[in-house]
Structure 1
Amino acid sequence: MTARALLVLAGLLGAILATSPALAERLIVSVSNHRVTVTPNYAGEELVLFGSVERDADTPPGRTNYDLVVTVVGPRADMVTRRKERRFGIWINSDYRQFLQVPTYLALFSNRPFDQIASPEVQRRQQLGLNNVLLMQRVSGDYADVVPDDVFRSAFVRLRTEHGLYREETSAVTFLTPTLFRTTIPLPAEVPIGTYNVEIKLFTDGALVTKADTAFEIVKVGFEQFVANTARQNGLAYGLVTAAMALMTGWMASIVFRRD
């Protein structure tokens, strides 16, 4: 590379650095447990997310009006929501909507309502709140998200919320000091297995300042893990053993309850 080319490259880098905003804050975060084990008597758990806002010399003096949004996303999967109708006295599935690679667990926590943190445009862009989270669907041969009050989308979110797998809490993040914060992440008994990504976004005066990421994992152990591995890796053997156990149970029940 010639000296002239080096000078041009240095000038371009200088211009990029000059126009890039300096990060005046950064987030230091962690969770109380990075590996949650699911045993046969698992009944749910709560993790604690805690952290701090690290300020530097570029931070405007006196700036402490921070807002925090925590988004927890579990493993993704395809799911279906069905609509039932009563016809001739019988409830049947009349229509359905397929949701593509959506979170099996989704939680959004903040220190105050989202509409007090940012404008509607920023909320949509940063996906603040369940109504703004992108839930890709197959709609009439197309792939898109739909309006929040769509009947299938609303039913999907409602059903996940009733099982504790989708949640939105706008007073769950607590600032212990102007820069220290904490929140809890509830995990219900039927929590899906897999890796959970946690994104923490820091706002001030309606604008995103910085963000950080962490993660934790939920795994099965013991007999449940053995059964899950067998079903996944040896499907035929698992099916045969399950059928044999069902036949054995039925035979034993017929003996116990046999009338002489």
Structure 2
Amino acid sequence: MSARSILAALGLAGAALLTSPAHAEKLLLALSSQQVTIASNYAGGELTLFGAVRGETRQAGGRFEAVVRARGPGRTLQVRRKERIGPFWINGPARTFERAPDFLAVLSSRPLGTVVGADDIASEQLSLSAAADGAPAGGTRRVDVTEDAAFVAALVRRQAERGHWREDGRGVAFLDRDVFRASIHLPPDVAFGAYEVEARIYDQGRLAALETITFRVVKAGFEQRVARFADRERLLYGFGMALLAIAFGWTASAAFRRD
């Protein structure tokens, strides 16, 4: 779907909304695609979110600001600290983050702290650190607040280095005073499943509108057929993988055998 057709659809939907009584902003969202197909040659991708605000309650002299948060499937992530004892490094305390988003992007039209108050950022888990700190903890978790903050910072750093977590204070651009766009970058090893994109509109610090839209990341081609077969015929799939491993092992031993 092209950007022009998406904007046209948003305009028509907005016009329809304006014909009915409204007492608050209405937020319309559209994605460039609502399904991302992953094949063996997938090297990452990008989705574009378009949004349009419709309503007449904007405060005098104000301008809208937007915060967009995209979240992927939850999974268990663990951060472990290494400790040195003499010449050796050993595993130290760990914190397990349960149901933490495997993918997380927080985009805003201005730096997040200038759009939303610190209390709202923490309670709504709008920043990367707030999302990590808000993930339920399991396993070994120290009570010390300073040490716990170090685990949170380490998780954010690791996920950002992998390209799975991203925060951009200039990631949302207003095309005019009521229409905005944001680009969501997906890494090459993006997880399969359902994703949620939440857009928030703020008017001088006041939450004026909130809306969500979803998309899915799915397998395609040979990978999809193998995944479906593995799901339907688990016993046969396991037996086949075992035979394949034996065949590869025998082939390797035969190739490197010395006479």
TM-score class normalised by the smaller sequence = 0.7 to 0.9
**1:63/1:84 CA distance change after superposition, 3 Å:** same
- Contact 2:94/2:139, CA 8 A, preserved across alignment: no
Q: 2:37 maps to what in 1?
A: 37
Q: Give the residue type in structure 2 aligned to 1:43.
A: A
- Give the AA of the match of 2:184: I
Unpaired segments of 5 or more residues in structure 2?
A: 1-21
The C-alpha deviation readout for 1:174-212, integer Å capped at 9, x for no partner, is 011111110100000100000000110000111111111
Q: Deviation at 1:89?
A: 4.5
- Say whether 1:85 aligns with 2:83: yes
- Distance, in Å, in 2 between the alignment partners of 1:102 and 1:147 is 20
- Contact kept, 8 Å, 2:72 with 2:103, in 1: the verdict is yes
Measured after TM superposition, the shift of residue 232 of structure 1 is: 4.2
Instruction: State the SS of the aligned residue for 1:218.
Output: strand
Deviation at 1:172, TM superposition (A): 0.7
**Residue type of the partner of 2:39?**
T
Alignment partner of 1:177: what SS? coil
* Identity rate, percent: 38
* Corresponding residue SS for 1:24: coil
Cα RMSD (Å) of the superposition? 2.5
Structure 1: 5+ residue runs without aligned partners?
1-21
Which one has a bigger Cα radius of gyration?
A: 1
Q: Tell me what 2:211 maps to.
A: 212
Instruction: Decide whether the 8 Å contact of 1:23 with 1:210 is kept in 2.
Output: no
The 3 A distance-change label for structure 1 pair 147 and 95 is: closer
Q: 1:102 matched to which residue of 2?
A: 100
1:150 alignment partner, SS class = helix
Task: Give me the whole-angstrom Cα distance separating, in 2, the residues matched to 1:51 and 1:70.
Answer: 10
**Secondary structure, aligned partner of 2:106:** strand
Aligned to 1:68: 66
Quick one: distance in 2 between partners of 1:150 and 1:141? 11
Kindly report which structure 2 residues correspond to 1:235-254, keeping only aligned pairs within 5 A, or say none.
Answer: 235-254=234-253
The structure-2 alpha-carbon separation of the partners of 1:80 and 1:51, relative to structure 1 and needing over 3 Å to count, comes to same
CA shift digits 1:36-88 (9 cap, x unpaired): 111111111000001111123xx247555111000111111222222233446
- The AA in structure 1 aligned to 2:236 is A
CA distance in 2, matches of 1:79, 1:87: 26
Query: For 1:1-260, what aligned pairs fall within 5 Å after superposition?
Result: 23-56=23-56, 59-60=57-58, 62-87=60-85, 89-133=87-131, 134-138=134-138, 150-260=149-259
Aligned partners of 1:196 and 1:26: how far apart in 2?
A: 22
TM-score w.r.t. the length of structure 1 is 0.81
Q: Aligned residue pairs: how many?
A: 235
Question: CA–CA distance in 2 between the matches of 1:225 and 1:90?
Answer: 44
TM-score computed with the length of structure 2 as normaliser: 0.81
Q: After the TM superposition, which of the residue ranges 243-252 and 83-92 deviates more from structure 2?
A: 83-92
Letter of the 1:32 partner, please give it: S
Cα distance change on mapping 1:88 and 1:226 into 2, 3 Å: farther
Query: Which residue is 2:16 aligned to?
Result: none
SS of 1:178's partner is: coil
CA displacement at 1:239 relative to structure 2: 2.9
